[in-house]
Structure 1
Amino acid sequence: MLERRGSLVLAVICACTACPPLRQPPDSLLAAFTLNHTVPLEFYYVDDSNKGKGTHYKYSQSDINQLIREAERFIQQALSVLFGSTHPWYECLLLALGASHVTTVEYNKLTYSHPLITTTTPSLLETTSLFHTALSISSFDHDGLGRYGDPINPDGDLVAMDTVRNVLEENGLFFLTVPIGPDVLVWNLHRRYGYQRLPLLLCGWEEVESVGWEEELLTSPAPFTIQYEPVLILRHLAGCPFLP
């Protein structure tokens, strides 16, 4: 989510070109994907590309108004940070909190029929305007793996972080969730971030606060299907980008 003068954007940054998704990493890129063969490789194949089976999420204005009412009741009952959804629940949470408008940037097809929600595609995301805050909900760990038809890129997640950096004001805040634990690349499902790749992902950001963080889970053995995603609240810093 990107905020600019009262408006919010839910951003999933990706470009769709590969179809169907590859069932294994290209041999020529395997070393790059696994940090010179130091990150274990597992397999869990998914095709969420538009050119494959694809997905098209549709919600009417009455559906979204109902979600907003539910979000208002939720906010009254619990003041907590909550992330991760495949429908416009979090957009509705933001509207319930008083956001003037929410724009969702998504590579899959979306139809959210509501005057306060706009949907668009990553290619139309403006990188010339600066935003105050950003929020990525369990999305950047997928970038570069081709699952959603995005280009195969060992550094796709780092490119996505760099894109956020480029559209945020200096000292802007970024709310980020990704799977945390012992490093592993699960092709083509997602990455899990541990001591090796997490510092690369967070380069150029200062951690302001975290919600649900447990240091020991960085190294505790766990199946790659186990989801542990604390919320990292980061501040945009000048300098130290991973990419030139």
Structure 2
Amino acid sequence: MSLTTDMAEAESCCPAMTENVSFVFETRYTTHNVNQRLAISGSLEILGNWSVETAVLAEEMPANSGRWRANVEIPRNTSFEWKWVVIENDRSRIYRWEERPNRSLSSGTSPAHVRSAWNLGEEVEIPLKYKFRRKGTINSCSEDEEEWSYLPSGEILQRLSKTNDGVKDNATPYNSTQNGNLNCFSGNQSEDSEKLLESEENHDHNFVMNDYLKPQNELENLSTSIDERVKERQSRLIFVILVLSLLIGQFTTVMMTVLSRIFDKRFLKKMFILQIFLFGLFVINRWSQSVESTTNVKHYIQRSNVNPDLQLEHAFMKPIDLIRNDCGELCNTSRKGQPGPYFDHVTANINCEAIFRNEYIDSGHGLAHAPKEIPKELMDEYTMNGRIGIKKWYFDEQYLGKKAFTPVWTEEMIEKNIKEAKAQKLFSPYGLAEINALRDGLKHAPGIQDGRVLVIGSERPWAEACVLEAGAREILTLEYGKIISTHPKVKTIVPLDFRMRYLNNTLGEFDAVVTFSSVEHSGLGRYGDALNPWGDIIAIARAWCVTKPKGSLTLGVEYKYEGEYIAFNAHRYYGKIRYPYLTTNWKQYHKGIGTQLVHVFVK
């Protein structure tokens, strides 16, 4: 029988391939409350095109098990990027994305089972589908005699061997040398078998590795390292206890000899027993703290909150230390500057990837109410080692992750604001003089005219109206709370999405950045953000990272060259000490007017 006839007969017994293939994604993650769930977002339309509003929701199976599963139909022979994300059940809030580069996969013509660990790699199992007849000849190809099955990769490789016993083209028959039965494979099985063959040569018969990371082994290695580290600490603790015991024993012998001449021996005996009891309590307490430390860190890892890019020591570090570590030279406020046109010009090596990757920078403080006082351990960082004074002025306005002050910006509202700005009638909480100060600054800012502009912090769209009046082509407003804008030239984004779009390379660059009375609040906890002594400096540094060369920053904050302070938790009042660090790497270009003094900088 000819090959052509064989292929024709095979096509009659094999159904046409669908346009999609089934992908099953699985991971382990323990959510913090019942309102959280996992989802998959990625670069394909079926994955939501990185929009959480259309991401694929995962199901926890069984309930409260920490095992999440999502079924997705992926177009055949398609490469795509994706990530896990923790969101609110109603998609109204993003809690966190995976803190790692985008995952990447390619679909073939067969289904795949993708197992991954949070932030770590994934294993992809490809169970090849095939049709076969246990009995009959090529002319008795009936549905009753055919069945779909999954085979271990070893048997698939044997059936799809590279010998002359069979043909491996699309939907072609193959006479198995094992049992003599005719098999009818659908899909480009030769391509998939090559992948499986590669995995078999690596002594892994079941999986094709994407990132060459085995989540289970990675977690085991981390736990092993922690065990070794804690055992070392416990050994040192035992040594210290033995030395103390010897010293206490010697001291006790001397004291018993001296005191026996003064006190009754029975009283001394009771005191000695009490001393031994108290020392035993001390030993038990220290030992339990050591064990608890080990348990907490292991639990921290098992909840998949450890970024493998960080060193093991980071598992023992506080979030503020992790921020300081990633911020690096930028957050060193003892750097010396050079004289500039209006104040000192300070420079630093900014690690843009690190300050965007750090999840704690955009996290909330998690308290029922905003903090009222600066923690003692952070006082030196906030006051720049006592160079800046502290006053009290308290607010509790938690917008982070919630609706903004004005949650809907309509096109009519913004267009009305533009007309009012031109007519000197625009309202803002800061008064008409401050509006005109910003408008004057925008006239001197390169990149505003016909540019893509980032606006940082905006409760009402009056600043956006001024930017559009100045000729901007497009605006993206970054705000703690979620805002819906219906104006075609104004889009909005929350901090977590802003960070992830930068890491996903989907944010793009801006011709100019505008911020008025916003960054001075960053890191003070007023709006629900976590306490961060460098929150304002990092916010402006991130703006520097996403601005095109020769682009501009129009910055309006309360400024006076002498007499700066922090009114906690309301805002910072800048002057010659902190302002140069706030504007690190930005070149001074124009000094404007206003109480919220407007400066223009260029990159």
- Specify the TM-score bucket, using the shorter chain as the normaliser: 0.7 to 0.9
1:138 aligned onto 2:517: yes
Residues 196-226 of structure 1 deviation map (CA, whole Å, 9 limit, x = unaligned)? 111211221111111128xxxxxxxxxxxxx
Partner of 1:37: 386
Matched position secondary structure for 1:102: strand
> Aligned equivalents of 1:157 and 1:140: distance in 2?
5
Matched position secondary structure for 2:472: coil
Partner of 1:22: 371
Residues 160-210 of structure 1 deviation map (CA, whole Å, 9 limit, x = unaligned)? 111011101223211111111212011001111122111211221111111
Name the larger-Rg structure: 2
Contact 1:47 1:53 in 2 (8 A): no
TM-score (norm 2): 0.32
**In the alignment, residue 515 of structure 2 is paired with which amino acid?**
S
Contact 1:15 1:107 in 2 (8 A): no
Q: Please, which runs of 5 or more residues in structure 2 have no aligned partner?
A: 1-355, 426-432, 440-456
Q: CA deviation at 1:53?
A: 9.5
1:168 aligned onto 2:558: no
**In the alignment, residue 167 of structure 1 is paired with which amino acid?**
V
- Number of corresponding residues: 208
1:82 aligned onto 2:82: no
1:48 aligned onto 2:397: yes
Q: Please, which runs of 5 or more residues in structure 1 have no aligned partner?
A: 1-12, 214-227, 237-244
1:94 aligned onto 2:467: yes
Q: Which moved more, 1:52-61 or 1:119-128?
A: 52-61
**Matching of residues 1-244 of structure 1 within 5 Å:** 15-18=362-365, 19=367, 20-50=369-399, 55-57=404-406, 58-74=408-424, 81-82=437-438, 86-125=459-498, 126-127=501-502, 128=505, 129-181=508-560, 182-212=563-593, 228-236=595-603
Residues 104-131 of structure 1 deviation map (CA, whole Å, 9 limit, x = unaligned)? 1110232333233212112222434222
Q: In 2 relative to 1, CA 52–39 (structure 1 residues): closer, same or farther, beyond 3 Å?
A: same
**In the alignment, residue 27 of structure 1 is paired with which amino acid?**
K
> Aligned equivalents of 1:166 and 1:188: distance in 2?
27
> Aligned equivalents of 1:168 and 1:133: distance in 2?
7
Contact 2:405 2:459 in 1 (8 A): no
> Aligned equivalents of 1:145 and 1:30: distance in 2?
12
Contact 1:48 1:148 in 2 (8 A): yes
Matched position secondary structure for 2:399: coil
Q: Which structure is higher in helix share?
A: 2
> Aligned equivalents of 2:372 and 2:403: distance in 1?
16
Q: CA deviation at 1:26?
A: 1.0
**In the alignment, residue 124 of structure 1 is paired with which amino acid?**
D
TM-score (norm 1): 0.75
**In the alignment, residue 521 of structure 2 is paired with which amino acid?**
H
Q: CA deviation at 1:62?
A: 2.7
